[in-house]
Structure 1
């Protein structure tokens, strides 16, 4: 029994909406990353610092804190709407009444960076009620390099007991701000590695070719076996000539005896042809 039916056009629209919802949830239609942040004073140096934080863009980071009376959840998003509040970079959520207070907006951003840290400042937040002469709130997020710890937001303090320049200080560890690892290999090491790789390819490829294609057996499976045997023989001959050749001059103690012996041996035989009768 069919209770209701969905028109074909309505079915297609519903299917399209579901697809768009999945794409949005997977980040396909995410924001423009750090480009969504508007610097207080646009300059190239701060923009480069923001670009280092690109892996953290469009992600919510939360931290919980409990006061004497109230409990709060702080939500931080880099260049995105924290907790769904438009233009809010950092918000405070009261766990009791769910009230949201904007600490800072990402359209008034400052970015200061070092070799392994970045200080992000969101200003222009909601005004204090009875603290800091009613000035606007401001969030400062210190992001430090940590290769072993995933990004985690922590609330360090809320400095609101001064007359002005009050701020919320947050800290977060992330590998996004770590300097790139420099290669420790020298040019000679790289050349040696390439040479060993080429040698391995030559030996393995030649062995397979000789065995599977040519059908060689034994030592003949070695690629270019005859050539390398000849090289080995020539090398051995050269080593023998250079390292094992005999001295050309004999010791003087034996020279006289050798000359005497040779003289005796080379004396012509006496001929007695003249004694024969004519």
Structure 2
């Protein structure tokens, strides 16, 4: 059976191998399957200062709003208007301001975890909540709460807290703006934050490049061809050794052709340098003369 006659059988075995292999390779899920998986994994640990919408599965990432000690911008300063004090806030992390110049008021639980504060006219600093990195949705509103601040002036049993409501601002040239809205009994403070980071986005995940996908496909196709062909030749033709390779004659001819071209190329390359034999040595000349003398002696003897 020629190589062309065996080709359909090789293709058949290759397709069978690919079908078996495909069962072991997970395919890309649909959008609905992704949303179901995200909702099912809601209880798992969310990325830092970000979350998925529980209804739509959209991803929200507030971490770019966070300021660190290495940031040149520092904390966010918010005008208090009629509150007669300005607020200093940070998001997802504690404030970066130097608090050693202030007198803590209201029995602050932890100075290292303050997420926002204000300073009154007597230079007393009140915490309006500890830093939080866990936003959540209340209906359609994206919310973050800063809790466990200083004790409220109207009640020693309550502590100050802040509620920040985020609004999506899709203008890429507009900077994030946070504004003070109101407070309840100088104990609960409300802020509104308009930013592009409050808009739904796509979570960045590691993906394969088109070149990687192409190389993987070529590798799988070659393995299917090679393994399927070897199995076919071994089972049908009882081939052994290198004869099991599919289209062995074709590959052997190609290999021989490559070897021939390599020899020709090397010879052409060597001829460019005009290699010569040493003048004192004549390879094969002495052997040829001895052979001629022996033949002449044999002829004389026979005559």
Whether the TM-score (by the shorter chain) exceeds 0.5 is no
- Larger of the two Rg values belongs to structure: 1
User: What TM-score range do you get, normalising by the shorter chain?
Assistant: 0.3 to 0.5
Q: TM-score, normalised by structure 1?
A: 0.41
How does the TM-score come out when normalised to structure 2?
0.38
Higher relative contact order (CA 8 A, sep 6+): 2
